[in-house]
A = this chain, B = another copy of it.
């Protein structure tokens, strides 16, 4: 049995049984416990499972979950969100992408005039439960759990019927020449479609995402209307975006 193959089997087992007991698996595979332990250690180092005494458990139970991620780095996100709300006008249809930065934006959307918010993120929708003046349209689809947004054919179809005035796009990486990218191909496809439908697209970009690239490209730089960026970022790092005609809103 190949090492990689064995690791894949371990991950299958973990998904199937919800846990792995090192000793039992070693017997079943007719290998020393050391080998299994080593595999588990390495898989844990890759963040694929949760190593515990006696075996391993799935990552989900105590992975820094969405709620935790919301708390960290909230300072910069708050500032970006505060600046971004100035882009919203009465009566507009906004489209809010998923992600913690957009969740911060959802929490501080204006309450003194009416507008429509479209989102494919149930988390964002839940944030807007208490909002007095926002009409919320939730887009359905298969939920991509990692980032908690609806994706797939159902979502795409619903997007095709909408023409949002303003789209707040969420990405995990931004690069002047490589464009904007995210972690999942399917998610990227949905984002790309929304960009095409929307009259304008803005990105709230925390500084750690600058000059990076993620696996799945969303759109090229020239598709984006503007970026909301912290004013602690040196202007030189943004010159590449300005050259592409992207507007900058410093926060």
Contacts and interface: CB of A to CB of B under 8 A. Distances in A.
B18 A111 contact: yes
A158 interface: yes
Interface in A138-152: 138-143, 145, 148, 150
Contact of A132 (B8, B58, B133, B137): B58
A60 B128 CA distance: 12
A247 to B, nearest CB: 31
Given A136-B145, A141-B138, A142-B136, A53 B4 contact: yes
Contact of A140 (B50, B55, B112, B138): B138
A100 to B, nearest CB: 13
A17 B112 CA distance: 7
A248 B145 CA distance: 35
A203 interface: no
B122 A55 contact: no
28 contacts: A2-B53, A2-B54, A3-B52, A4-B50, A4-B52, A5-B19, A5-B52, A8-B61, A15-B133, A58-B132, A60-B132, A61-B130, A66-B129, A122-B122, A122-B123, A122-B125, A123-B126, A126-B148, A128-B143, A131-B145, A135-B142, A136-B145, A137-B141, A138-B141, A138-B142, A138-B150, A140-B140, A140-B150
Interface of A: 2-5, 8, 15, 17-19, 21, 50, 52-55, 57-58, 60-61, 65-66, 111-112, 120, 122-123, 125-126, 128-133, 135-143, 145, 148, 150, 154-155, 158
Given A131-B145, A139-B140, 20 more contacts: A2-B19, A3-B54, A4-B50, A4-B57, A8-B61, A15-B132, A18-B111, A61-B130, A65-B129, A122-B125, A126-B126, A126-B148, A135-B143, A136-B145, A137-B140, A137-B142, A138-B141, A138-B142, A140-B150, A140-B158
